[in-house]
Structure 1
Amino acid sequence: MFRIMVVEDEPLILQSICEKIRSIDLDFKIVGEYENGEYAMLELDLVKPHVLLTDVYMPVMDGLTLIEQVNKSSPSTICAILTGYRDFEYARRALQLGVTEFLLKPPQTENITKLLDDVKAKLWRNQSLMESEMLQQWAYRKEEDKVNSTNIQQLEQEYFYHANYVVLYAWNPPQMQVSLSTHEDKWKLDLLLLEGEKAYVIPPISSHQKIIVVGVHRISETRLYELAEHISSFLDAGMYCVAAADINKLQTELFPMISKLHKKVYSGFPLEGMKCLVLQGNENTYDLPMLPIPSLLEQEMSMLLVKQRKTEFLKRLEMLFDMDEWSSGTRMQWLQTLSYQMNAWILQYPEIARKSIEIHWKDELEDLIWQAPNTTAIIQSLKELHSSLFDALDQEPEVEASWTEELKNYLDTRYMDNIALTDVAERFGVNASYLGRVFKRKFGHSPIDYLIQVRLAKAKQLIREKPRLFFKDIAEMVGYNDPFYFSKLFKQWTGQTPREFKQQKMSE
């Protein structure tokens, strides 16, 4: 099914065109109806249309400006314009922008039918588009599912002719609040390739992952490492794992291989910096063992915990973390081992169980393991977390209550500013991970998530009370300089795009 976006500022014409498209050809799905080009551009990356049908004369952003922007952001999208017999100059400019499909006003059924037939023929001839669609189907379907499109089944033999394929998988834990860019030019994919090879970017289902498939002539462990190292060299600040694996049959092996890579990357996430992993052929994903806790040391820690002797307990904790096995372990091993040990204490000592629940120990352990940038920060955060088991938690200390309320008020009133967690922590004179844990313990959300909710609540208010404001202006007013990111975030958190939310409120 092909996705089509329709942009027309006259509601009756817009409704008529969309109704006719739906009745004429079921191979086309309308994924967006817009009254001006700006609204369409804000949601272009969300709906990923194969076809854009737009009027020329529109407020805010006219059709030709929209086409020019779409050509830059989504060059594979086929653009068609609604035009009249007297709009020759606009038609000429549209031709200069690469537009070859025109629909005369008023749009008649036979004209729309011809337009859809011509566009569909072009879509089927678009090799990059077809390859992208097939890869997306194979990457995210279940192993037992069948490919639904007959056309794709017939054409699949014409593509993907390389002897071997390498799947490059980059992943960053969502707790880090850092996304991976999807722009191909950033990753310089041409540098990956030898003559005759080809790289494809699979649209991710999460902004925290990046998937690239490279068709290669020959494969070796050295080449796999080179490809993985190339991707890691273009990663932004943050913590990442990169894995590479070679496969032969994309249609049957791509989905299980991506699942395997994610599991291996997730379980093998390092304590320090970045790490490239290589998975050869059908090598099985291994389950990492838990890290050792010497029985004598465990007994001493248990006794000191029960007797509430914090200083001596923390010394034993440092001794545990200094062990060679722990120093070379992964984040997942630390998380699994510490969770297992805490569960043992909880089952043995009811008082520990009560305190662990009060401080949300399980959730905070997972957050700090993934958020801390290195081993030193992890150990410091773990000491702070274990220290809370020794504190009297029946009543929150007045000092802590004071700064958490002050931080909440700061986010409520300064939401339009560029706010970073590290800067906020420095402002309040506490460790960033500690600040996040205490704030979440009290209010149920991390400071970043709370800030997003404050901003989106204000954006909703502005949309309701000032419907004439452009979305880009609303985005800036609530602290987002990038209107496209604002639109994505709005959709992610509310389930609606800003335009859909506005239409809903106007119809109520």
Structure 2
Amino acid sequence: MIRVLVVEDEKPILNSIKLAIEMTDPRFVVVATAYNGEEALSALQTVEVDVVFTDIRMPVLDGIGLITRLRETYSASAIVPVIISGYQEFEYAKQALSMNVFDYLLKPLSLAELRSLLLRIAAQVEGQRQASVDKYMEELLGSDGHPKGARPAALPERGVYGLLHLCACAFPSFAMEDSSPAAESWARFDLTETCRVIAGEGPFWVLDGKTDSEKLIVSLGTEARYDETTRAFAEALLDRWRQVIGTPITIGMSGPLALDDIRTTAQMMRARLNRTVSIGESRIFSLSQSTDLVFEVPKLNSFVEKKLLFALNQRSYEQFLDILRELVDEWRRLKPRQYEVEKLVHRIAALCLGVLDARSRYYTAYFEADLNQAVLQAKNYDELLVNLSLVYKMAFAMKGPQDDDNDRSKQLMERLDEYLRANLTEPINHQTLSEKFGLVPSYLSKLFTSYKGMSPAKYLLSLRMKRAKELLEARPRLLMKDIAALIGYQDPLYFSKLFKKETGIWPSEYEAGQNRTSV
């Protein structure tokens, strides 16, 4: 419900405005009326409202005076003011617009214009409400767990809450400068709309998790059949993800919660998630499960270690890769949890550091990060093998400090810069750049960041957004899907979200702004 105060000194007109608002959009309810500005201010002492529709000319305190008092008393976003005026009062209306009112309507009211206005007001009010809830939840789930603002009315203190913790692809066990491949998946998957389709209009809130891979869904419902309903919701969500994205996802479910328990439960859920995610596997689990799922844990026995050491001492990358391939095949068969695979990966790395020449800056600055990225970037075991093979190929190639050739690195980064500029429309990611330039993703990213001040991914994004602005300015008749395709995005919604994140406005708003400037 969006609460409205109507201020008009002529009763028949006031009643007709009230009726028109409520009939045009059922979300709007007139909770109070007043005949002048002073009465309106008195009403606001006892009634909370979201929107004020006010006439310009009224006795005691007119519309301009009322808006001035509103701006002095309330924050700019707390109440949306709308002016209603006659043609002869248009100069007053322009004065009101300079005071940052939302809009104005001319008498007699046009129902079409009113409908359009109410839609825009609803979008702003509901957006502000969602933002206040998101902020409160983010602060509740933050490091200290103490929201700075008051609890929004949409979050009843005694309600029955539920929590879903989602992790797309691998779990980010280590801090990473480069984003997870899950970030692109989330940008393509409208989680809020999917939840709305599955759950209807029941209260729920979608929040960002601690990393790019994670999302949180907080729901508000009843305790009756909670487990059954939540499981059905999670399964429907997983099914939709498989249809749209296709990569692995892990979903954790809580039991019924009080508002104050959400933060602690989220921490427990994340710890369980870290011990549940498996490479290439989708899974739903419940926090109420007394024990983790049982898996057969792979081991690195002494015989395998001796084979690896022999290959390392012989400097035989091909022999080493054959052993690694056998290990990955075993992991694929056993389906261990990701953190167990990470332990084995780092155990193999320790053997390498004990044998290979570790004087190169690659080992001290990049080797461990590359191994972490190899796991994080893998959506399945085939990709894990490819990623690890690239890391170890680099490791075998390093022979000492002389490999850190600044001139060669600069030339390579100049080639990479030219490649990115010339291939905006191509599907470029960590893997394609790694294969193209023969360096593992983390090392390549570090070199390019030193050269350009940002990672290849961020640089490519900046180039694409710059080109998008040029197209919006020069070719305003182009459809959004055509602009997206011309800068390398097949999904226009994904492009629009990226543009909004980078510029603060939607592409359509940027285009409209350019059109106004040129007039």
TM-score range for the pair, normalised by the shorter chain length = 0.5 to 0.7
Q: What's 1:166 paired with?
A: 162
1:361 equivalent in alignment to 2:374 = no
CA positional deviation for 1:230:
1.4
Matched, 1:342 2:349: yes
- Cα distance in 1 for partners of 2:493, 2:233 equals 31
Alpha-carbon spacing, 1:246–1:462, altered in 2? closer, same or farther (3 Å) = closer
Helix, strand or coil: the match of 1:218? coil
Task: Output one character per residue of 1:436-477: Cα deviation in whole Å (capped at 9) or x when no partner.
Answer: 5674365247654331132345568899xx799899989767
The equivalent residue for 1:252 is 260
Equivalent residue for 1:379? 385
Q: Is 1:23 matched with 2:72?
A: yes
**Does the C-alpha gap of structure 1 residues 285 and 139 become closer, same or farther in structure 2, counting only changes over 3 Å?**
farther
- Secondary structure, in 3 states, of the residue corresponding to 1:178? helix
1:212 pairs with 2:217: yes
Does residue 137 (structure 1) correspond to residue 136 (structure 2)? The answer is yes
After superposing the two structures, state which structure 1 stretch, 480-489 or 351-360, moved more: 480-489
Structure 1 residue 489 displacement after superposition: 3.5
Q: State the alpha-carbon separation in 2 of the partners of residues 240 and 424 from structure 1.
A: 18
| Structure 2 SS opposite 1:320 | helix
Q: TM-score, normalised by structure 1?
A: 0.60
Cα offsets for 1:165-196 (capped at 9, x unmatched): 43222222542142423454434544x58xxx
Which residue identity does 1:443 align to in structure 2?
Answer: F
Quote the residue 1:156 is aligned against: 156
Structure 1 or 2, whichever has the larger Rg, is 2
CA distance in 2 between counterparts of 1:374 and 1:100 reads: 45
Q: Does 2:103 match 1:96?
A: no
Please state how far the C-alpha of 1:366 moved relative to its aligned partner.
2.2
Aligned counterparts of 1:406 and 1:447: Cα–Cα separation in 2: 12
Classify the secondary structure of the residue corresponding to 2:217: strand
Instruction: State the one-letter code of the partner of 2:286.
Output: V
Residue pairs, 1:435-450, within 5 angstroms: 436=441, 439-440=444-445, 442-444=447-449, 447-450=456-459
CA distance in 2, matches of 1:420, 1:330: 30
SS of the aligned residue for 2:205 comes to strand
Following superposition, the deviation at residue 232 of structure 1 comes to 0.6
| Correspondences of 1:26-41 after superposition (within 5 Å) | 26=75, 28-29=76-77
Counterpart Cα distance in 2 of 1:151 and 1:360: 45
Partner of 1:226: 232
Work out the percentage of aligned pairs sharing the same amino acid: 14
Match of 1:201 among 198, 205, 214: 205
- Corresponding residue number in structure 2 for 1:328: 335
Instruction: Please say if residues 224 and 278 of structure 1, whose CA atoms lie closer than 8 Å, have aligned partners that are also in contact.
Output: no
Residue 455 of structure 1 aligns with an amino acid whose one-letter code is R
Q: In structure 2, how many angstroms separate the alpha carbons of the residues matched to 1:220 and 1:84?
A: 47
TM-superposition CA deviations, 1:328-375 (whole Å, max 9, x none) = 2233332343235424653x4572352643882222222221222311
Q: 1:362 to 1:446 in 2, by over 3 A?
A: farther
Partners of 1:248 and 1:299 in 2: how far apart? 51
CA distance in 1, matches of 2:347, 2:305: 12
Aligned mates of 2:414, 2:227 — CA distance in 1: 54
Report the equivalent of 2:282: 274
Secondary structure of 1:352's aligned partner: coil
Shift of 1:276: 1.9
Match of 2:103 among 82, 92, 96: 82
Answer yes or no: is the 8 Å Cα contact 1:331–1:370 preserved in 2: no
Structure 2 CA distance, aligned partners of 1:227 and 1:252? 23
Amino acid at match of 2:114: L
Task: Select the residue among 248, 251, 265 that pairs with 2:273.
Answer: 265
Residues 24 and 369 (structure 1), Cα distance of their counterparts in 2 relative to 1, 3 Å cut: same
Determine if contact 1:182/1:210 at 8 Å carries over to the other structure.
no
TM-score (ref. length: structure 2): 0.59
Asked whether the equivalents of residues 178 and 238 of structure 1 are also in contact (C-alpha less than 8 Å), the reply is no
Q: 1:355 to 1:395 in 2, by over 3 A?
A: closer
The count of corresponding residues between Structure 1 and Structure 2 is: 410
> For 1:170, what is the secondary structure of its paired residue?
strand
Tell me if the contact between 1:421 and 1:432 (Cα under 8 Å) persists in the aligned partners: no
Structure 1 residue 233: Cα displacement: 0.7
Distance, in Å, in 1 between the alignment partners of 2:111 and 2:412 is 63
Closer/same/farther in 2, CA of residues 344 and 137 from structure 1, 3 Å limit: farther
Deviation at residue 83 of structure 1 after TM alignment? 2.0
- 2:164/2:216 contact within 8 Å kept: yes
Give the CA RMSD over aligned residues: 5.7
Q: Distance in 2 between matches of 1:374 and 1:423?
A: 16
Q: Which residue of 1 is the match for residue 36 of structure 2?
A: none
CA distance in 2, matches of 1:385, 1:391: 10
